[in-house]
Chains A and B, each alone.
Chain A
Amino acid sequence: MSIVVKNLSFTYGVGTAFAKKALDDINLTINDGDFVGIIGHTGSGKSTFIQHINGLIKPQEGSVEVFDISLTPAKKPKPDLRKLRSSVGMVFQYPEYQLFEETVYKDVAFGPKNLGLSAEEIEERVKEAIGLVGLDYDAIKDRAPFELSGGQKRRVAIAGIIAMRPKVLILDEPSAGLDPYGKEQILNLIVKLKEQCSPTIIVISHDIDEITRFASRIVVFNDSHVAYDVPMTELFEHQAELVEMGLDIPQAVKIAKALEQKGIVFDQPIVSLSDLYKAIVDRYNSIHVDKNAFDEEENH
């Protein structure tokens, strides 16, 4: 087990007029090798939750265990945050606001440098990471991060985390603001990273269609609680509740549902657009092939 969260609650601005309970008694276990998608309305507590996992927020109530590191409200013993952050890499929501070095190279190199790697290894990792996120290393390495476009900055920020090769990778809305090609690249990148770099991945996204592309488990946050924690294939069963929470249901599910109302029912479960595509092609071909066979018989 990578991460065990028990009875975690958190309130911002305790004791002020702006006090806001962001997490209310969260219990969740993330296993090694999990590919988790987190959805939930803005303000439901998603970002607050994941910031607990890499020690950016100290628990007020309850506990978080990440590998052998324990995070609790207690003052002592102090958790080894450096170790924690080298195993849990976190790409923040709008990470571009955190680019601060004067060149892209230096920004991506920041993490690996902190790990105490050799200069050659740092360069190799920076090159690889920049290539992985789809930027041209030679063209961009000496540019100032703050002069890049929004999407370019995002990629640089992701590269900086990938360069640390963390065991658990958490991405908070990694594709927001990217062009369709960039989105596609980031999604493919996430899948690739799962195989080649970080075996456990957690992605927060508002785009349910995006999540259906890769996640095998989905966690739904609603008003500071975990409303659902189900395998992706069971998402279909919770449509009505998702809509009630103001969330989208996958486009493929909507289409399948509309077809179902017209009497077209597929045998296989449909969650992603590629499931739907396959189901339609299969059905079309089976009707078509049968019909051809029938026509041929008639001709005889």
Chain B
Amino acid sequence: MSIIKLSNVFYTYNKDTEEQVHALQGINLEIEEGSFVALVGHNGSGKSTLAKLLNGLLLPTSGSVNIYDMDTTNPSTIYEIRKNVGMVFQNPDNQMIASIVEDDIAFGPENLGVPREEIIERVDWALSKVGMLEHKKGTPFKMSGGQKQRLAIAGVLAIKPRVLVLDESTAMLDPQGRREVLSVVKQLNQDEKITIINITHYMDEALDADRLIVMNEGKIIDDDTPKNVFSRYAQLEAVKLATPPVTGLAIKLNQAGIPIDTNITTQSELVEKLCQLL
């Protein structure tokens, strides 16, 4: 079932002024419940704008955005939408509010008026989901980037969203932190069937998704399995993107006359192939 539906969505910042920017230009998109979608696109292609339309932080200039059949322009259901669509942003430091972990996680549900008992349950549940339960009484300020970002995810989880939008949530992390966050996100998708939309500039992160959407200048220009999208590498390069590094190497080798498939995406595929050739 499609739970997110964008029909002919346009978004213009500073409309009708000299500085107007047409950030989204005719987006049509449906996302199925429980899917894991990666969204890539050059800087300024409209990814964050699209993300902010999904929970009504921004409203479309024209066209419509429907989340679980609720229109984001309808003020009477906007809270319901915000509860259902959680957002995690890039900078972990800007997302912490309280100086004790459990207070930070409780903040969201408290604001929603969730009863005390249930808040306590939710905090434990959310922290355990991101593997941070033992840090419940700790302080977020002393944590590594990956830990802070997992807390940010827990904070969002405590609101019990059905959709999690990650807007470059791993961009500021070290490799270990990235791995931690990605594995948490994958698990939430698998165990809790939470729909994931992962906005990223790491092409190898996109490989984890079932579906890869490519944006260019406010439009969607490709939407397919990651493997298929990466096989159209010339088109990707034309819109300032790239393949994962392993695919890039395979393509270069192929161009040098070595008979190797250009749709290789993992290291083990590459190594296996090279063993036959070398």
State the A residues within 8 Å of B (CB).
18, 20, 40-43, 94, 143-144, 147-152, 173, 176-184, 206, 208-209, 246-248, 251, 254-255, 258-259, 262, 264, 273, 276-277, 280-281, 283-284, 287
Nearest chain B CB to A189 CB, angstrom units = 15
Within 8 Å by CB of B42, from A182, A206, A280, lies A182
B115 close to A (CB within 8 Å): no
Q: State whether B278 touches A258 (Cβ < 8 A).
A: no
Nearest chain A CB to B24 CB, angstrom units = 13
B43 close to A (CB within 8 Å): yes
Q: List 14 A-B contacts (CB under 8 A).
A: A41-B174, A42-B172, A42-B173, A43-B145, A147-B19, A179-B241, A180-B240, A181-B42, A182-B43, A208-B175, A258-B268, A273-B245, A280-B258, A284-B278
Q: State whether A149 touches B271 (Cβ < 8 A).
A: no
Within 8 Å by CB of B43, from A150, A208, A246, lies A150
Report the separation of the CA atoms of residues A182 and B168 in the bound assembly, to the nearest whole angstrom. Answer: 15
B114 close to A (CB within 8 Å): no
User: Could you say which residues of chain A place their CB within 8 Å of the CB of B112?
Assistant: none
Within 8 Å by CB of A281, from B13, B44, B176, B253, lies B253
B126 close to A (CB within 8 Å): no
B270 close to A (CB within 8 Å): yes
Report the separation of the CA atoms of residues A184 and B203 in the bound assembly, to the nearest whole angstrom. Answer: 14
Given contacts A246-B175, A254-B267, contact A150 B240 (CB under 8 A): no
Tell me the B1-30 residues at the A interface (CB within 8 Å): 13-14, 19, 21
Residue of A nearest to B256 (CB): A281
Interface size class of B (residues with CB under 8 A): 35 or more
Residue of B nearest to A149 (CB): B44
Q: State whether B201 touches A180 (Cβ < 8 A).
A: yes
Report the separation of the CA atoms of residues A259 and B275 in the bound assembly, to the nearest whole angstrom. Answer: 7
Report the separation of the CA atoms of residues A264 and B203 in the bound assembly, to the nearest whole angstrom. Answer: 28
Residue of B nearest to A148 (CB): B44
Report the separation of the CA atoms of residues A190 and B268 in the bound assembly, to the nearest whole angstrom. Answer: 32
Nearest chain B CB to A210 CB, angstrom units = 10
Q: State whether A247 touches B175 (Cβ < 8 A).
A: yes
Q: State whether A143 touches B19 (Cβ < 8 A).
A: yes
B252 close to A (CB within 8 Å): yes
Report the separation of the CA atoms of residues A42 and B242 in the bound assembly, to the nearest whole angstrom. Answer: 26
Report the separation of the CA atoms of residues A179 and B267 in the bound assembly, to the nearest whole angstrom. Answer: 22
Q: State whether A178 touches B278 (Cβ < 8 A).
A: no
Report the separation of the CA atoms of residues A254 and B175 in the bound assembly, to the nearest whole angstrom. Answer: 15
Q: State whether B48 touches A149 (Cβ < 8 A).
A: yes
Given contacts A144-B19, A276-B249, contact A180 B267 (CB under 8 A): no
Report the separation of the CA atoms of residues A195 and B8 in the bound assembly, to the nearest whole angstrom. Answer: 48
